[in-house]
Structure 1
Amino acid sequence: MSQAVFSVARILVVVLFCVSGAQKLMNPGMVAGAISAKGLPYPQVLAYLTIAAELGLGLLIALGFYARAAAVLLAVFTLATIVVFHNFWSMTGDAVRTNQIQAMKNLSIIGGLLMIAAAGPGRFALNRR
């Protein structure tokens, strides 16, 4: 029973990434625009890397295929989004509260990803590393 619950939890942690990555795949230009607006170089390349991170790593974790490594990489990616996109500490007005909430949400997700990295994918996975 607990292995089944663990597998469901592993999938639920990454649903957000899979859905977001699939949506970004439908409009990579929008993603590149958001990246460009932050002053980052190579926005088109970073847009596709973002899609690969969210969708690709999310699916690996959901399937339990190299889930530990994928969870660490997705945690690093998620931390980077806090620093670059949800940097509420350098914002003013309503943006502060909105981005603080997003940053805290991302920290919680990082916690879930690190648990997957530590515990592995569980019994119901394509590989159990």
Structure 2
Amino acid sequence: MNNNTLPTTPAQDAMTLIGRVLIALLFVPAGWGKVAGFAGTVGYIASKGVPLPEVCAAIAIAIELGLGLLLLVGWQARWAALGLAVFTFVISFIFHNYWAVPADQLGAQRLNFYKNMAIAGGLLAFAAFGAGGWSLDGRRRT
């Protein structure tokens, strides 16, 4: 996977920029929130039976904040999007396992699970096609 973006039109560049901003709006504040509430994050991760919750919380912060910012500015965006897609896919089975929750949580957890699948799909599109011309990767191409 090379980091160059495909040739794009100004409309495509605008749409990819807006898409990157909207996806980063999900991940960057979530990562920052985990930094600010580290103990709570660790507790939540531990409540799901995940081993080494402190390490997992640090990894989640690095992925959400670090890769989210890389995607936002469009630097190494294909790799950042791929990392975020894999992360989102994996955590969905742990934290939104709607098939194993009480009936009163079923609807919300199923909705969150499928929203995460859709987010992973959008991230895979960025991994496949790049960040567009209005990105650091796009600037390197020219």
Q: When the two structures are superposed, what TM-score results if normalisation uses the length of structure 2?
A: 0.86
Greater length-normalized contact order (CA 8 Å, ≥ 6 residues apart) = 2
C-alpha distance after superposition, 1:73-127 (max 9, x if no partner): 1001001111101000111221111100100111111111011001101101112
Cα distance in 2 for residues equivalent to 1:61 and 1:46: 21
Residue 75 of structure 1 pairs with residue 78 of structure 2: no
Q: Are residue 10 (structure 1) and residue 42 (structure 2) matched?
A: no
- Could you tell me how far apart the structure 2 residues matched to 1:5 and 1:108 are? 17
- Between 1:110-119 and 1:10-19, the stretch displaced more is 10-19
Pairwise CA RMSD: 1.2
Is 2:97 aligned against 1:92? no
1:46 to 50, 56, 70: 56
Aligned residues with identical type, % of pairs: 40
Distance 2:93 2:16 in 1: 30
* Max Rg structure: 2
- The aligned length equals 129
Q: Which residue of 2 aligns with 1:57?
A: 67
For structure 2, list consecutive stretches of 5 or more residues without a partner in the other structure. 1-9
Runs of 4+ more than 2 Å apart: none
Q: Partner of 2:62: helix, strand, or coil?
A: helix
Where 1:80 maps in the other structure, the secondary structure is helix
Counterparts of 2:104 and 2:20 in 1: how far apart (Å)?
A: 33
